[in-house]
Structure 1
Amino acid sequence: MQISAAVVHKVDSPFAMTEAELQPPAADEVLVQIAGVGICHTDIAIRDGHLPFPLPGVLGHEGSGTVLAVGSDVTEVAVGDKVAISFNSCGECRECSKQDPAYCHKFMEANFGGVRADGSTTLAAAGNSLGSNYFGQSSFATHAIARERNVVRLPEDFPIELAGPLGCGVQTGAGAVLNSLDVQPNSTIVIAGAGSVGLSAVLAAVVRSATTIIVVEPHRSRRELAADLGATHVVDPADGELSAQIRAIAPSGIDYALDTTAVAAVVEQLAASLGVRGVLGLLGVPADPQASFNVGLFQVPLLGITIRGIVEGDSDPKTFIPYLADLHSKGQFPFDKLITTMPLSEINEATAAQHRGDVVKVVLTP
C-alpha cells in the first residue's frame, strides 16, 4: 500500500516526507494505522550516525494506532484494536524465554538491522528498498508493519494518539524505577536529567512512595515541571558541585541514583552521592561509544554499592504497558503532561524544539 513516511536519506540529513510502498503483513505481523509516534533520543542518534541503521530508511519506534490487518498466524490482536508498539525481540533466546525481552540475545539485529528476520524489507520508495523494521515498526509514517510480539492491545477508551511513548521512553524511565532499581517506599532517589525518561522515573518514584525525589536538570522549565510532577527537590547543576548539593539534602547519601544523561562527570557525581548499599542505574546512551567514567574501587566494596545497566526499564511490554495504562486511567501516572503534539510533516521542527528543551516529548500525528 502507498503511505507517507519521514525518510532519513543519509547521516546528518533532515527527515524528508516521502511517498513509500509498504508491504502487507507477513504471517506473524500486523498493519497499524499510526495515530501518534513519539520522538526519542535514539531516533536522533541514528540520524546523526551515533548508532547503526541502514540508510536511507524510516525511523520511529514509539508508535501507536489502530490495527488494520493481521497476518494468518496472529491471535493476540484483531482488526480494529488499539495498540501501542514497543521494541522487537526474537522470542526464542534464553532471556526472551524468561520474559526478559529487553535483553534479547538478538536485540541489535532485531531492532537496528533494517530488515525482517528473513532479510526482506517492508518499505520501498521509487523502486529502491528502504531501511525498515526499525524497532520492529519504523513508525515515522502514516502506517507501519509490526510483529504480533511487539504490539500491545490497549483499552478502547485510552487516548491512543498519546500511547506511543509507553513503548520506549516512558516505559524505560518508569521501568528503571519500578523494575530495575525496584525503588522501595520511604526511600531516597536522585534522577539526573528531566527529559521524558527522567520525568517518567519521577512519576514512578511517586507511585512507589519515595520520600525524597531529587531531580538534577539545567533547564529551569523542566525543573519546575519535575516539581509539579512530584519531585521533592530540584537541583541546578550550575549551582555548585553536584554531590555536595545532593548531600545537603540527604547527608547520609542516596539510596538510588538514576542517570539518563550518559555524561561521565554527572555519573561520577551521582556515584559520589550514594549511601551505604546504594544503587546506581545507568540507562543513557552516550554520543561516544567509548565513553567511560571513574568510580573509586574502595568506595564500591566499602559501601556495598551496586552499578546497574538498564535497557528498556527491564520491561516486558506485554505486561508493563497495560500496567502503566491502568495507572494512568486511575490518575496515578499522568505521563500525558510530558507530551506536546505536532504534525508528522513538521518532524524537523519538532526534533529541533525537543533538542532545545522547548518541549519534553513530542508526539507526531500523521
Structure 2
Amino acid sequence: MARSDRSGGGATIIDVARLAGVSAMTVSRVINGREGVRSETREAVEKAIRELSYTPNVAARSLVTSTELQVGVIYSNPSAAFMSEFLTGIFEEASIRGARLSLLKGEAGKAPGPEALEQFAAAGLSGFILAPPLGESRKILSVLEPLGRPIAAVGAYKISDALCVRIDNHRAAYEMTHHLLDLGHRRLGFILGNPDQAASAERMAGFYAAVREIGGVEVRVAQGDFSYTSGLAAGELLLDAPSPPTAIFASNDDMAAAVVSVAHRRQIDVPGALTVVGFDDTAAAVTLWPTLTTVHQPLRRLAAEALAYVAQEAGPALLRPGAVSDCVLDHSIVYRDSTARISVAEPD
C-alpha cells in the first residue's frame, strides 16, 4: 500500500503528485525548494498544491532532522575527477541534513570483499548509496537487499528494491553524436565504457541510434573501461586505422583526455584535424588543452538526490511518498574547444 504524507486539510503528497502528473518525489523536491525540476513541472506542482489546499505536516517533517541519519556510501571508481564531484554532492547534502556518513571503498572499480561488505552492512546504518559503477553489483545487492533498508543506486538501471538515480544516457549520447554529424564528420570513433555497466551499453546504443539516421557514416569502436589508461590504448587503436576517425566520442572525460594526449604526441591538431568529445563534464574536461566538449551530467545533484531519497525512506513512515524506482535528472551538452567542423575531404 502506498505510504503518504497526510496534511491537516486531508490532501496527501500522493494526491498532489497524481493531480500534477508527476512522482511524489518530484513534489517533495518542489516543496523543499530543490533544484532539478523543470519550470513547467514546478508550476504544475504548485498549482496542484493550491487547488488541493495541501500543507505539508511540518511537525512530522521535523522528526527526520531530530533522528540521527547514518548513511553508508559504497564506491570504487577509476576516475578521481568523477568521484571528487560525486562525493562533494554527498558531503554537501549530508551537511544540510545533519547526516553521518560511513564510506566503504573497493579497488579498481570492483566491489569490496565479502567480509568488508558484511561488516559494513552490520554497522546499523540507516540506508545505503551505491556510487557508479557499483549500483548494479549483485555481490553488493545480495548483502544489502535482505536488510530491508533504503538503497539508492546511482547510474544504475532496473534494480529491484532500490531507487536508480541517473540521467538518460541513451539520449545524451544520441545528442552528442548528432552534434558530431552536424559538424560534417562521417568517420567516427567511439570508445566504450566498462562492459559490466548498463550506462555503457546505453551510451553505445545512443551513439548508434544517431549514426543510423545518417547514410555513409564509417564507425570504428574501441573498448575502454572508463580509466585514463584504457583511453590511451583505445586512442592508439583508433588513430592507427588506415582511415582514422575525424572525430572520436569517448564514453567519459578521462578517456577523452587520454585521446587528446595521444593526438598531441602524434602531432595531430585538436580540433583542426581531430575532434574529441567526452561524457560527464568533470574537472578533467577543463584542465586539458583544448578544453573538452562533453555531456554534462549533474554528478553533485545525482549524489544529493540519492542521499535525499535514503533520508526520506529512513524517516518516519508519514513522510514516505510511496514506492519509486527511477529518478532521471536532466543532462546537457557543454560546447568547448575540442570540436570543429570537418576540415579535410572525406573519401568517396
Q: What TM-score comes out, normalization by structure 1 length?
A: 0.36
**Higher strand proportion (structure 1 or 2):** 1
**Higher helix proportion (structure 1 or 2):** 2
Q: What TM-score comes out, normalization by structure 2 length?
A: 0.37
Kindly indicate whether structure 1 or structure 2 has the higher relative contact order, using CA contacts under 8 Å at least 6 residues apart. Answer: 2
Find the structure with the greater CA-based Rg: 2
